[in-house]
Amino acid sequence: MTASAVFVLDVKGKVIISRNYRGDVPLNAIERFSHLMLDEVEGSSPPIIVDKGVSFAYVKYNNLYLVACTTRNSNATTLFLFLYHIINVFKEYFRELEEESIRDNFVVIYELLDEMMDWGYPQITDQKILSEYIMQESHKIQGVAKPPPAVTGVVSWRSEGIKYRKNEIFLDVVESVNLLVGSNGNVLRSEILGALKMRSYLSGMPELKLGLNDKLLFESTGRNPGKGKAVEMEDIKFHQCVRLARFENDRTISFIPPDGEFELMSYRLSTQVRPLIWIEAIVEPHSGSRIEYTIKAKSQFKQRSVASNVEISIPVPPDADSPSFKAGTGTAKYAPEKDAIVWTIKQFPGQKEFLLRAHFGLPSVQQDGQLQKKPISVKFEIPYFTVSGIQVRYLKIMEKSGYQQALPWVRYITQNGDYQLRMN
């Protein structure tokens, strides 16, 4: 991948700051791009614009356009990835990425752009490494800056010499459930999006090995998964610290972790998911002047698990007024800005069923067919539970100094994603 130049434009297409890496693209080419982009109808413009042999890949963030241009047959995905790395680095340095923060930090931005790319090739895109020798407070690097070991070493995401009095590693297995249930009760769409998020507070240069109940691992080795079931993950995406060759060879997740917080991997399971929280709504219009709702919520996960901060939003007509509620548990309120009843249940144990009755007046006469058809949406979080059944079988920590006091902590959380149930 090669990028000839990188530009940051304001919302009108005017250049705020730029860096020309290769000199093979005239600087006035960006003016032509601005006219082409602004001529497009908003929302319909393509992510890449080609004009007179120059390709422009751009992303919009807040009131800014970040543009990478090239005259070569570059990898478009890599160009976009680099632009998003720029956004993340600038956000870490300036808290908010907007036109004002760009204008206030020209010196630091030029230093960052010079370190992040060399002759059109990406170099260092990790904010933690960049922050070791480019500091926002200093407008100029004095003398000859010595790059941190992480830049020149094999492990570019971690510096040497890290020390902690107490060595700990925290692993959160977080799964989000996307679900759409039709008005007839059939599941129309369901998938699980998972992520393994880590917080590493380990000294030295530790080597970690993580074992999951991976179906392909058990099949390749001929082993039995034991009491639990094996899980077949799709669309696996790893942090750069994971040794991909090792994973491809024997499905072992081996890595030297970055210091602090990072996402080790993400995955997807396109599997039929039984609704964890089932909602039934009976709507009874009365002569067009009032309407009654009977809402039944049922938890369909194991009895020993408890969902917390459950929020159920039931749509109502936009002109409904005079609300009254009778809830078996939790609290219900009318949210006119959402045209919805919001029923909140702080603790929802498994295999339980709760009832809510609501009554509204309707000042304007409506036919039954004119009632809102928006779906019910549900928010929730279930700790110590994964809907896919994924399990961390082991998390081994090895370090050449041989410290034996490293403590791994593993936590499981299931939460809602796009979770909707259509009403009758």
Q: Which domains does the chain have, with CATH numbers?
A: 5-150 (3.30.450.60), 168-273+387-421 (2.60.40.1170), 277-383 (2.60.40.1170)
Per-residue confidence at 223, pLDDT binned at 50, 70, 90?
A: low
- Between 217 and 313, where is the model more confident? 313
Amino acid identity of residue 231, one-letter, is: V
* Greatest C-alpha distance within the chain: 83
d(CA 21, CA 39): 28
Handedness of CA 124, 127, 130, 134 (dihedral sign): positive
Q: Mind listing the pLDDT tens digit for each residue in 93-108?
A: 888 899 988 988 888 9
**Contact call for residues 82 and 122 (beta carbons, < 8 A):** yes
**Contact call for residues 197 and 172 (beta carbons, < 8 A):** yes
Quick one: residue 402, left, alpha or beta (phi over 0 = left, psi -120 to 50 = alpha)? Answer: left
**How far, in Å, are 37, 53, 102 from residue 56 at the CA level?**
10, 10, 21
**Residues present in the chain in total:** 424
Per-residue confidence at 43, pLDDT binned at 50, 70, 90?
A: low
Whole-number CA gyration radius for the chain: 27
For residue 184, is pLDDT > 80? Answer: yes
- pTM, two decimals, is 0.68
The average pLDDT across 255-270 equals 94
**How far, in Å, are 37, 38, 46, 49, 50 from residue 41 at the CA level?**
9, 8, 10, 14, 17
For residue 13, the model assigns a pLDDT of 87
d(CA 312, CA 343): 5
d(CA 307, CA 299): 9
d(CA 217, CA 220): 5
Find the range with the poorest average confidence among 28-37, 87-96, 302-311, 399-408.
399-408
Token digits of residue 21: 């890496």
d(CA 181, CA 186): 6
d(CA 267, CA 381): 19
Residue with tokens 């067919």: 369
Long-range CB pairs of 132-137, under 8 A, 24+ apart, other chains included: 132/159, 134/108, 136/93, 136/94, 136/105, 136/108
Per DSSP, the three-state class of 112 is helix
**Contact call for residues 30 and 66 (beta carbons, < 8 A):** no
For residue 218, the model assigns a pLDDT of 67
Strands 187-201 and 15-20: unpaired
**Contact call for residues 305 and 316 (beta carbons, < 8 A):** no
List, in sequence order, the alpha helices (H) in 184-316.
Answer: 215-221, 244-250
Q: What distance lies between CA 57 and its chain's CA centroid? A: 23
Amino acid identity of residue 268, one-letter, is: R
Q: What distance lies between CA 117 and its chain's CA centroid? A: 26
Per-residue confidence at 421, pLDDT binned at 50, 70, 90?
A: very high
For residue 365, the model assigns a pLDDT of 59
